[in-house]
Amino acid sequence: MPYFKPFKVIIVGFDGVLGSALTGALDLFSFTGVSWQRFLDETVEPKFNVQIASLGGADIRCSNRLIMRAHGDIQEVTECDLLLIPTIGDSIDKVLSQNAELIEHIKRLANTKADIASNCSGAFFLAKAGLLDGKVATTHWGYASKFKADFPLVDLQENQFVTHSKSRSKNESESDSAHQSGNIFCAAGGSAFYDLGLLLIERYCGREISTQVAKTQIIDSKRGNQNSYTNVTLHKPHADQLVQQVQEFIEENFRQAIQVSHLAAMVNITPRTLNRRFQAAVAMRPIEYIQAVRIEQAKRLLELGDVTIKSLAEQVGYDDISSFTRLFKRATELTPKEYQDKFSRLAI
């Protein structure tokens, strides 16, 4: 058989990393070209040479207190095919502030031809390094508000499981942020990394190998986006007390017919002003917030057990079942039945 030189993958290790994200990435790429071949009694041919690199090659204290030993020093890494930034498990601000030197090495390797990929809150490392300015990115939906506030120059697509930005070549600009010649990938929270992992494996090894990994690891790929996992209550933190008052009224009365004009009159402002202040505070209009609260409640009811679509629609304030179903699918990319099958506790 022809000699195959494995692709070099460097996983960045740092104190406060999520242990499962670190070891999960190590396993996923290390067993590509191995597990399937063992099952079928074929020649094992690892497709990736995977190493964990930390600053100074120091041991890594994961957020679950597990101590991991690095394979090497990131300062000695001069090139790689793929640089992976795993999930931050501890306080994001704390980890970033303690790893200023590590961020410089991420920036250095971004100036090579390496592809760069982050998982979940690992995207904060890339954004802190300035590598995502003007580019699309994603992260866990729970960190979306913080990410947008900290890095307004990044085009955050928090509903996406995986994003891909093509970096500019050195010839296109003299600025440091333009000196990247690889590609930047981001995965959303938790197991979304497996979607990204399969995409990257396909990128390097082809669809057949990627499919083999999906089968051996029993990975449900191409799951769409994060919309079915988000929680509308995360839109709530802000300083506009008037908007908070209206939000609380909506959350307590969503089963009833609610008119925006009535909400505006309730707080003595015009509907136009209410729309403007809602947009500024929670990035949606009042009518959209009403719909979001109703959809969120519908999701909870579907998770709790068996419920008919007619009863479900009525319980969350909709008389028109088709209108409710359409809104639900637009919000979650799943029909109510599909959502129930996926998340109901009775289905476990």
Contact between residue 122 and residue 193 where contact means Cβ atoms under 8 Å apart: no
The pLDDT of residue 105 is 96
Range 43-47, long-range pairs (CB < 8 A, 24+ positions): 43/1, 45/1, 45/4, 46/6, 47/4, 47/6, 47/7, 47/201, 47/204, 47/205, 47/209
The pLDDT of residue 228 is 57
**Is the dihedral angle over the CA atoms 218, 219, 223, 226 positive or is it negative?**
positive
Per-residue pLDDT in tens (0 to 9) along the chain, 348 residues: 344 688 999 999 999 999 999 999 999 999 999 988 888 888 888 999 999 999 999 999 999 999 999 999 999 999 999 999 999 999 999 999 999 999 999 999 999 888 999 999 999 999 999 999 999 999 998 999 999 999 999 999 988 888 888 654 433 443 333 333 458 999 997 677 888 888 888 888 887 888 888 888 877 655 556 665 555 554 555 678 899 899 989 988 999 999 999 999 999 999 999 999 999 888 889 999 999 899 988 988 887 777 888 999 999 999 999 999 999 998 888 899 888 887 665 544
**pTM of the model as a whole:** 0.69
User: What is the amino acid identity at position 246?
Assistant: V
Which of 38, 31, 22 shows the shortest CA–CA distance to 201?
31
The pLDDT of residue 171 is 38
Pairing between β-strand 115-119 and β-strand 82-85 as defined by DSSP bridges? parallel
Extract the tokens encoding 272: 């136009």
How many CB atoms sit inside 10 A of residue 326's CB? 12
The pLDDT of residue 174 is 36
Extract the tokens encoding 193: 């990394």
The pLDDT of residue 283 is 82
User: In the chain, what are the domains?
Assistant: 7-228 (3.40.50.880), 232-347 (1.10.10.60)
